[in-house]
Structure 1
């Protein structure tokens, strides 16, 4: 994310442009003020329909309508009053908007512009030209107001957020005006509409290019505390920052002193955690569960050989995890099945994988993923029960699905189940593992009936810890650690209480990517036990 929150959350500028054009055009034609206002409201309604009535668009359009009505009756309104009235009206109409991030970002961004933009511009104008002060103050005000909410979506701070907004903002009104003209022209003169669409594409492409560039720039995101602790901490820092900027002595001095103390404590904590993590990071890790959100991505390491089981849904977190682990090349990539949360991050592996194991293919999109991997140099192999191979000092065996699949369509129950077992000549302690993909209860029961399971040290818990489990299967695996790839506050309720209870009753320690972050599993000093390291909790022996 490059944090173009000012452009994506407010939408008021677009409505202002539309209304301004109608009012100016009507004035040039000599239309009465009431006629211009009525026409502006009608065009606003059409604008909302064309761009879809998203929460931010509805909020901006309602604010513009209220201003037009007040203008028509000669009763000017203040900005915060209009914002409050619009927000309350929409919440009365649809209370569930209170849980909508787009709506919250829209309201907070607008409030930030109304409250902070002018004071910040006045402050910056001491050192910069007035026009440049406004250019910087507007996205800065929106960013300061939105950032605490954005933390709930991604617990990091954008390094280049204001710069990205400053560069992208000039293209937004051009794209809006030309895009709206294209929509009108398409119904009247299609060739003209298509030409205008191509023109509107240019500023839109500029905005996308700015976002892409800054999202991939070095140090684009600064880590921050997660959850409400991070929100409260950032809110306090933001208030202190604003007080230090716009208030007069002595409040400014007090705010600056408090900011220095907070920055010192935060820096010391960050450095301390970094040093602690570096000291405790196990060099002999054999399994690494990457934190890729709601999805699976587990690295298996044996000597110099690397296997990756699934890729998560987004290439960026997978790329970051592999870089952190020092993994440049993947000898064996296993795509258990083709759900997006298992193959969506495959782009991070293009050109880096040697062999790819896949199960049943169900759609053209699945084939496209495989064709892209093949075109990048990987050898793609379709596997089923009985296929085997080696990875360093480990041998791998495919336990599921069988060939042919009877009564099982491509999807969760056709997931590849693969185990990694130590070879007899393993010179060091080698941990064993089984990866269950997203196998459901009935498929798990059939797998257990086939009698091919081995007892292992590590099991990748099926389907992110859903309730669709077969407890006897986990009893038979007799694992020490259960890896659960799951996203924070996911909408599925994963992992479920039933699944966690099942693991506990089977004697399996559950480690979750949502609460534990990156998880490393290493052999312990005693045979049959493992050592855990997690980036958010102190590891230990199990």
Structure 2
């Protein structure tokens, strides 16, 4: 199992890096945090000097010194880099809410923003991670930034420099990027990347082009399996890969790095090279591979481990897996402490640790009841899943029950697709015909993996809903530890105690979290079309069309919104509409970070909009500012933006008004428009009759009678809190709706409610508090 002594310093470094990068957000001075750790190390060193005759004191103090030294490196690195961010000229520009002329250098492969808006067939925008190298014509110390651009992915390759005018927003210290840039006008590529990076552009582009000529999802997976390029992977396939726990196959992993390094090392050995030459050849091949696939967190982790092993080989020492992983984690977190908060890096490290520590023992246990090859094949995905699942529930509070079988079925195809696709990538620029043939060969295992993903994700009962966030992760980690005790303990009494504790640990929180929703869910219709979430004094409305979901506003409270989404079984938001930036409409956005594909919003409002859009964008959501006339689709439904005008100032009267036309009904969501803005809306467009209206401003008195008469809706949804202090909804508004023969559904009295359209202008109504259906 290797040397476990470095695990404690690695864990301490990880925890320190996690906390240190957020020190400034908590009002702490990062330099003081780092200084405190080094002071503690100095105190321990003094203890060693004073107690040098006591062997036990020296041993404990030495371990503590290594732990504190590793933690101190991470804290010091965070302090230096946070200070560099604070001194950047972009800090003052962001504080003034102005724009700047910047030059950025791309540092990672661009990622597609899979938007469900705008015209069909348009290529998605690309999220680009970069570092700013010049501001307003002056060279500056590089700091990390993120932006969204529209050029083809091949034009945004690693090392390319781009000039643009952009609005600058500062991000929290805990974020990987220090600033978000929102381009104003066209971004101009200044020139190709340097030669040591430019060589990889052509092979990557040729592989993508060759795969495009093939059919089905296998064509989209070939570049992902080979070089981690997921640009062609659509939303449906991506969701299937996630649901079946196969998405790791499209991220370049340690296995890819190991194959390349071992191949180079072995080839040099066959040529009779000395050990130092073999190590050098492996390092050169590894560096070239990282450039080709771009430095993703999983690749960086695997590359650092490979370097640690190669250095150990060069020095004539054994390079154990545990020691190599620990050294890689400590070194990388000391270089870039923000990796401690990167899910890709965490999953990569956890999966590697699981394989090193658990795969062998699990295979031994399984071999007692099944053939050895099957035991080994099952132990590998099981070990990785056990190690990664506590992290995965932070991203999606559910357990993929078919993940291990799906990985077992995909396992024989993955290395074939990876190796053949990688060889094809390298051969295509030189021998196009041979490379194209190899791509066709790689298509076969890639297609098999796609079939497995779709098959596993479509099976019933594939998701076991779990507690969300940190409590869910800690609970699952505890359960995993207890299960391992049950499997590996040799004493029956130990296994009995572990079983009892496991039952208790599971029963209480799972019963509390699942009991209520199960009781309510037993009466809730499963085929609802619209829903009004009870989130207090605020709006959060859901629309579901086919398999696509839209959320209009998030209410004020993340916990309340999260409860509603769990109650209604919503784990992914294809389209999030933020009508405006007041807290009662945007304050709960934290609940959907990492779950959103596209955000539609009205005019930006400085820090208020940046606080909402920043975290959503960092988690992969594309933000699009919309105005009257913009159109798009949600599943088979179509929508248009009826308001605001292009020159609108942010506020209630610039609320985004969404007009949605679905099969069987039409719904209009009025945001917080006041009477004057409602009159302007009526002058600018012909609304006509709707089946559902989301009543403006929680039912305030500031309403246009004419707009509700024109809409003549069957149902009026009012998101409002009980005892809200504003008198919402007002008697005047309720009388107005009654005159329009609109049935009122209000969340303060009925809780979360759903509407199910029957296609004849009527709706089935279910409300949480009553628990009974009705006809409207």
TM-score w.r.t. the length of structure 1 is 0.63
Q: Of the candidates 482, 502, 516, which is equivalent to residue 719 of structure 2?
A: 482
1:193: Cα distance to partner? Answer: 2.0
Report how many aligned residue pairs link the two structures: 411
Q: Tell me if 1:106 matches 2:348.
A: yes
Q: Tell me if 1:258 matches 2:492.
A: no
Give, in whole Å, the separation in 2 of the partners of 1:182 and 1:266: 51
Give, in whole Å, the separation in 2 of the partners of 1:34 and 1:406: 65
| Counterpart contact for 1:10–1:109, Cα < 8 Å | no
SS in 2 for 1:127: coil
Q: Of the candidates 746, 750, 758, which is equivalent to residue 531 of structure 1?
A: 750
| Counterpart contact for 1:112–1:142, Cα < 8 Å | yes
Give, in whole Å, the separation in 1 of the partners of 2:369 and 2:342: 39
1:283-362 → structure 2 map (5 Å cutoff): 288-289=531-532, 298-299=542-543, 311=550, 340-341=598-599
Residue 435 (structure 1) aligns with: 669
Give, in whole Å, the separation in 2 of the partners of 1:507 and 1:19: 69
Q: Tell me if 1:136 matches 2:382.
A: no
Distance 1:419 1:212, change over 3 A: closer
1:256: Cα distance to partner? Answer: 2.1
Q: Of the candidates 255, 265, 272, which is equivalent to residue 13 of structure 1?
A: 255
1:237: Cα distance to partner? Answer: 0.5
Distance 1:414 1:267, change over 3 A: closer
SS in 2 for 1:122: helix
1:70-469 → structure 2 map (5 Å cutoff): 70-249=312-491, 250-265=493-508, 272-274=515-517, 276-278=519-521, 288-289=531-532, 298-299=542-543, 311=550, 340-341=598-599, 369=633, 373=636, 400=643, 407=647, 415-417=656-658, 435-436=669-670, 447-448=677-678, 450=680, 459=695
| Counterpart contact for 2:543–2:551, Cα < 8 Å | no
| Counterpart contact for 1:6–1:142, Cα < 8 Å | no
Give, in whole Å, the separation in 2 of the partners of 1:206 and 1:282: 36
Distance 1:530 1:312, change over 3 A: closer
1:24: Cα distance to partner? Answer: 2.6
Give, in whole Å, the separation in 2 of the partners of 1:46 and 1:406: 48
Give, in whole Å, the separation in 2 of the partners of 1:175 and 1:255: 42
Give, in whole Å, the separation in 2 of the partners of 1:451 and 1:359: 12
Give structure 2 stretches of 5+ with no counterpart: 1-242, 553-564, 570-576, 580-596, 602-625, 662-666, 684-691, 705-715, 730-742, 755-766, 772-776
SS in 2 for 1:49: helix
| Counterpart contact for 1:113–1:141, Cα < 8 Å | yes
SS in 2 for 1:218: coil
| Counterpart contact for 1:157–1:221, Cα < 8 Å | yes
Give, in whole Å, the separation in 2 of the partners of 1:457 and 1:195: 56
Distance 1:197 1:539, change over 3 A: same
Give, in whole Å, the separation in 1 of the partners of 2:548 and 2:403: 34
Give, in whole Å, the separation in 2 of the partners of 1:276 and 1:111: 40
Distance 1:46 1:10, change over 3 A: closer
Q: Of the candidates 31, 35, 55, which is equivalent to residue 273 of structure 2?
A: 31
Q: 1:272-307, CA deviations, whole angstroms, 9 ceiling, x for partnerless residues?
A: 435531577599x9961479xxx986359xxxxx99
Distance 1:436 1:307, change over 3 A: farther
1:245: Cα distance to partner? Answer: 0.6
Distance 1:55 1:204, change over 3 A: same
Give, in whole Å, the separation in 2 of the partners of 1:59 and 1:126: 34
| Counterpart contact for 2:639–2:660, Cα < 8 Å | no
| Counterpart contact for 2:352–2:384, Cα < 8 Å | yes
Give, in whole Å, the separation in 2 of the partners of 1:269 and 1:282: 22
Residue 130 (structure 2) aligns with: none
1:47: Cα distance to partner? Answer: 0.8
Q: 1:462-520, CA deviations, whole angstroms, 9 ceiling, x for partnerless residues?
A: 9xxxxxxxxxx96625999438xxxxxxxxxxxxxxxx9xx9664559xxxxxxxxxxx
SS in 2 for 1:136: helix
Distance 1:62 1:481, change over 3 A: same
Give, in whole Å, the separation in 2 of the partners of 1:149 and 1:16: 24
Give, in whole Å, the separation in 1 of the partners of 2:476 and 2:598: 33
Distance 1:480 1:11, change over 3 A: closer
SS in 1 for 2:750: strand
SS in 2 for 1:311: strand
Give, in whole Å, the separation in 1 of the partners of 2:393 and 2:430: 45
Give, in whole Å, the separation in 2 of the partners of 1:311 and 1:136: 39
Give structure 1 stretches of 5+ with no counterpart: 301-305, 314-320, 326-333, 344-357, 385-399, 421-432, 463-472, 484-499, 510-521
1:532: Cα distance to partner? Answer: 1.0
| Counterpart contact for 2:301–2:328, Cα < 8 Å | yes
Two-structure CA RMSD over aligned residues (Å) = 5.0
Distance 1:359 1:36, change over 3 A: same
